[in-house]
Amino acid sequence: MGGDPTIRLKEKRATIRMILLILMVVPLSGCWDQDEVSHVGFIISAGIDSTSNDKVDLTVQVFIPNPTSGGTSEGGGEGRVFTYTKRGDSMPEALSSLQKRLPRTLSWDHTKLIIIGEQLAARGMRDEIDFLFRDVEPREQANFLVCKGTAMKLLQSLDDPNTYDTIIRIADMPSVGTYNMNYVEESIAGESDAFILPVADTIELMMSKSPKTVLTIKGVAVIKDVKLAGWMSEQDSSGLHLGFQWLHQTSIGHNLSVTVKKDGGKITAKLVRRKLQLSPSIRNGKWSMKVKLKVDADIVQNSSSIDLLSSKDSLRALQGVFEDEIKQMLQRTLDEVQTRMDADVVGFARSFHKKHPHQWKKVEREWDSVFRTIEVKLEVICNLRKSGISNVKI
């Protein structure tokens, strides 16, 4: 009734053999992956340049893991970074030539930064971006930057012994990490075809009593029609980071502060949260935009003679001073992009498209000329939450 005992015993033995076989295969597959890592070079950053004779220079920083390190990790890794450059008629050809030169298979799976040189950015980088998106397909976390001069010279000048970790940390910075492949793709397909990218630069730091050249971020590049439209200093671009760039985010992810001069000293407030509202309007053929910005901030430094602890009135009175300063920051940014560059990187096109789709459709092809004439009204509300815990002047 229970079946032949001999048959049941054979079935159990077959099951045990299958389980043992699976257990033996699992570690073998791990060894195969480890063997693959020893044949791969991981591109952690890449620089793309255009030459005077219309060639393309591709510079890559390749991370080679130590055989005992077990591959790469997002938080750092044991290994060495090598920098290679190759020239070609196009980026695919330069990459192919580079691959032939190197004994390891190049992988874009861990690419953090893609830096576009100034000449290529000014000429137009549509072909190179198309190749990256269409063929190479680095991960979505790869971030795009622009540099003055050549990306090749910038990458080759880096002698930071911790280049791998530095690049990972820079890619994770709020001022860099949001300018990834998704952002670039959406911006190119957006209403205004204009967007911004961080500017890569270098800085000298002392390490073990000797100067080392380290990668850093300095300013903003304005991109229009996938070409470089101009540069904005940190001061001129502060309005973008403060309000315009990320319309739907309330928290301010990096240290953005505002300093005002008052009563023989300076008072600095650290901006903590903000809410930006764009209200587009079309009346009698006149296009206008109301920009309303609400900001929460904390006082972090006070070298003036104002006693901020004794009375809340002092803090309230300061709010108007900070509102005026923030309004000037926004206006300075608007003057740069609306008047000097004709590049709508502040989200006006999208706002008009959403609220007035029919009128937008009529001016879509002439948006630059319309954007230039839009009357902008700025309203800033600053809420100073904390005054600090000391009135002692140092």
> What DSSP string runs through 169-209?
HHHHSHHHHTSBHHHHHHHHTSSS-EEEEEEEEEEEEEETT
Per-residue model confidence (pLDDT) at position 93:
96
Q: Distance (Å, rounded) from C-alpha 325 to C-alpha 252?
A: 18
DSSP, collapsed to helix, strand or coil, labels residue 390 as coil
- Residue 236 neighbours by CB distance under 10 Å: 19
Q: What is the pLDDT along the chain (394 residues), one digit of tens a residue?
A: 455 555 555 566 666 666 666 665 445 444 444 446 678 899 999 999 999 899 999 999 999 887 665 544 444 457 788 999 999 999 999 999 999 988 889 999 889 999 999 999 999 999 999 999 888 767 777 899 999 999 999 999 988 777 878 888 887 877 777 888 888 999 999 999 899 999 999 988 887 788 888 898 888 999 999 999 999 887 777 777 765 654 444 445 556 788 888 888 898 988 888 888 999 999 999 999 999 999 899 988 888 888 877 767 778 888 999 999 999 988 988 998 998 899 999 999 999 999 999 999 999 999 999 999 999 999 999 999 877 655 555 5
From residue 165, alpha-carbon distances to 169, 247, 358, 389 in Å are 6, 31, 50, 37
Q: Distance (Å, rounded) from C-alpha 69 to C-alpha 164?
A: 14
Q: Distance (Å, rounded) from C-alpha 234 to C-alpha 251?
A: 20
